[in-house]
Structure 1
Amino acid sequence: MLTKNPRVVFAKRPGTGVPVPGEHVVFERSHSIDLDGVPLNGGFLTKTLMLSPEPFMRERMRDLCVASYSTHAVLGEPLVSFGLVVVLRSEKEGINPGDHLYGLTTWEVYTVQPYIEGRAKYNPAAAPDYTFDVDALSLQVVPDPKGAFPWSRYFTVLGAPGLTAFCGFEGCADAKPGETIYISSGASAVGIVVVQLAKAKGLKVIASAGADSKVEYMRSLGADVAFNYKTTSIVEVLKEHGPLDIYWDNVGGETFEAAIEYSRLHARLVMCGSISEYTIAPEARYGIKNTSMIFKKRLRIEGFLVPDLAPRLAPRFYAEMPALVAAGKITAKEHITEGLENGPAALADVLKEGGNEAAGKPIILVATE
């Protein structure tokens, strides 16, 4: 017996700009699956419960001639991002029906796992040195929270955003009580965790976002100085409330330039993302004009990817964070969009300048148990 298996596919490379729902990213209802008879080939069958639209998905839609830290998305196949799934059938040891798993998965309701995008395994020998193996972020069984917190926390403080914030902050920031940190995109899923980790460490926190509702949210998390960069000058805020000991960069461009200008001697600049560049052509990207200040101030600029730091820091993350979340000491707000059919629009909202207007991590609710 066949069951409908709706999905969201990558239909066309967008060039520059935000992917257009219905053109570059398309919701399809035509596919079906035999839930009882589909071959598992030693794998397991999952039902998707929640999905996470992420900025890195736009990076994977780039032109095929452009190399980067991630592999290219495959035209005609479902989008891939972090998701929460429940196991329906399994032939894989250690994976049982009813298990919940979190990690990279497809934007479709039902999937035979492990899903191999493009039907070809990642080949390290053929990839640039800075490309990481997506298998490092594959589906993993997660514990049942049993009411301690909702499953959606695996998309915020207990999932990829929380692990990213934890690894970058603990592995690169070298933060000390009393120091000042500026966090761009401070209301993002990663940014809110950095805000809370920094406050718990005793830092003065400056944070920016692109909507007044997000400014209030950052203040509620403990940010000492929170502002809307669209209506308030970044330069004026940093001039008044700096200098900076640490800058956490999610944005790049002019924001990065301002952070360099108002950094203290020997400041640390932690490079987590550069969303200001993701949807524009390389020749249109902002050119930093004060790079000489890097050596004059002896600044330490360090970029990171989670797979590089996770072997050392993930055990601490999984040991410490669930208890903090259950106790309410680390929190997160979520913005839930119901229905996979609304996934393309949710992804576009994440990628537009300033992100979605609503405060909280965007999550797509695909199905209930």
Structure 2
Amino acid sequence: MHTENPRVVFKERPGTGIPVPGEHVVFERSHSIDLDGVPLNGGFLTKTLMLSPEPFMRERMRDLCIPSYSTHAVLGDPLVSFGLVVVLRSEKEGINPGDHLYGLTPWEVYTVQPYIHGRSKYDPAEAPDYTYDVDALELQIVPDPKGAFPWSRYFSVLGAPGLTAFCGFEGCADAKAGETIYVSSGASAVGSVVIQLAKAKGLKVIASAGADSKVEYMRALGADVAFNYKTTPIVEVLREHGPLDIYWDNVGGKTVEAAIEYSRVHARLIMCGCISEYAIGPEERYGIKNTGLIFKKRLRVEGFLAPELAPRLAPRFYAEMPVLVAEGKITAKEHITEGLENGPAAMAAVLKEGGNEAAGKPVILVATE
């Protein structure tokens, strides 16, 4: 007996701009699956419970001739991002029906894992040396929180955003009590965790976002100075509340220029993301005009990818963060969109300037248990 298996498919490369739901990214109901009889070939069958729209998904939709830090998404296949799934059947040792797993998974309700159809043709010999094989990341079993916190926390503070924040802050910031950090996109899933990690270390935190509701959220997280960059110029805030010892960059462009201008000598600039550039062409990118200050102030500018720092720092993350979340010492918020059919619109919203109006990590609720 076949069961409907809806999915969200990458239909057309968008060039520049935000992917248009129904054109570049399409919800389909045409596929079905035999849940009892589909061959597992030594793998396991999962049901998708939640999915995470992420800015990096847009980066993977770029033209095939454009190199980047990630491998390309594959036309005609479901989108792939971080998700929470539950195991229905299994032929794989160590994975049993009822297990919950978190990691990269396709945007469809049912999947035979490990998923290989959407893997890009990645040849390390041909790719730039800064390209990371995104598809190499695998699903990992996660423990049932048993009411200590909702499953959706695995998409924010306990998932890829939290791990990214932890690895970047602990691996690159060299933070000391009394220093000042500026966190751009501070209400995002990554930025919100950075704010809390910085406050726990005794730092003064300046944070920005693109909506007044997000400003209130950042204040609730402990930010000493929180502001809406759309209504208050960044340079005015940094001039008054800086100089900076650390800058955490999630956006790129003019924000980096302002941070350089108001950094102390020997400040650290941690480059985590660049959402201002993901949906535009090279000719539209903002050219930073004060790079000469990098050597004059002896600034340390460091980019990172969490998977490269994770072998050293993930054991600490998984040992420390769930306890802090369960105790309420580290908090998070998720913005839930119900229904896989609303996935294309939810992904597009993540890429708009300032992101979603609602504070918290966007999560798509696909199904319940």
Query: TM-score w.r.t. structure 1 length?
Result: 0.99
**Residue in 2 aligned with 1:98?**
98
Aligned residues: 369
Q: Distance in 1 between matches of 2:140 and 2:188?
A: 24
Q: Distance in 2 between matches of 1:366 and 1:360?
A: 18
- Aligned alpha-carbon RMSD (Å): 0.9
Alpha carbons of structure 1 residues 119 and 246: separation in structure 2 relative to 1, 3 Å: closer
Distance 1:119 1:304, change over 3 A: closer
- Say whether 1:299 aligns with 2:299: yes
Q: Could you say what secondary structure the match of 2:111 adopts?
A: strand
Equivalent position of 2:110 in the other structure: 110
3-state SS of 2:172 partner: helix
Provide the residue aligned with 2:197 in structure 1. Answer: 197
Matches within 5 A, 1:1-369: 1-118=1-118, 122-369=122-369
- State the alpha-carbon separation in 2 of the partners of residues 119 and 209 from structure 1: 34
Would you say the 8 A contact 1:180–1:246 is kept in 2? yes
Within 1, Cα distance between the matches of 2:290 and 2:93?
55
Cα-to-partner distance string for 1:147-170 (whole Å, 9 max, x where unaligned): 111111000010000000000000
SS of match in other structure, 1:275: coil
Deviation, 1:215, is: 0.1
The 1:60/1:24 distance shift into structure 2, 3 A limit, reads same
Q: Which amino acid aligns with 1:4?
A: E
CA contact (8 A) 2:45 2:111 kept: yes
Q: CA deviation at 1:232?
A: 0.2
Work out the percentage of aligned pairs sharing the same amino acid.
89
Amino acid of the residue matched to residue 343 of structure 2?
G
Once the two structures are TM-superposed, the CA of residue 123 in structure 1 deviates from its matched residue by 3.3
| AA at the equivalent of 2:194 | V
| Runs of 5+ consecutive residues of structure 2 not aligned to the other structure | none
**Is the CA contact (8 Å cut-off) linking 1:136 and 1:307 kept in structure 2?**
no
Equivalent-residue separation in structure 2 for 1:201 and 1:349 (angstroms): 33
- Deviation track 1:122-172 (CA, whole Å, cap 9, x = no partner) reads 433332211112255310000111111111100001000000000000000
CA gap 1:296/1:342 in 2 versus in 1, 3 angstroms = same
Q: 1: CA distance between counterparts of 2:208 and 2:79?
A: 30
| Alpha-carbon distance between aligned partners in 2 of 1:68 and 1:276, rounded to the nearest angstrom | 15
- In 1, Cα distance between the equivalents of 2:86 and 2:128? 34
3-state DSSP of counterpart to 1:126 = coil
Structure 1 gap segments, 5+ residues each: none
Q: Is the 8 A contact 2:120 2:135 kept in 1?
A: no
Deviations 1:169-224 (A, max 9, x none): 00000000000000000000000000000000000000000000000000000000
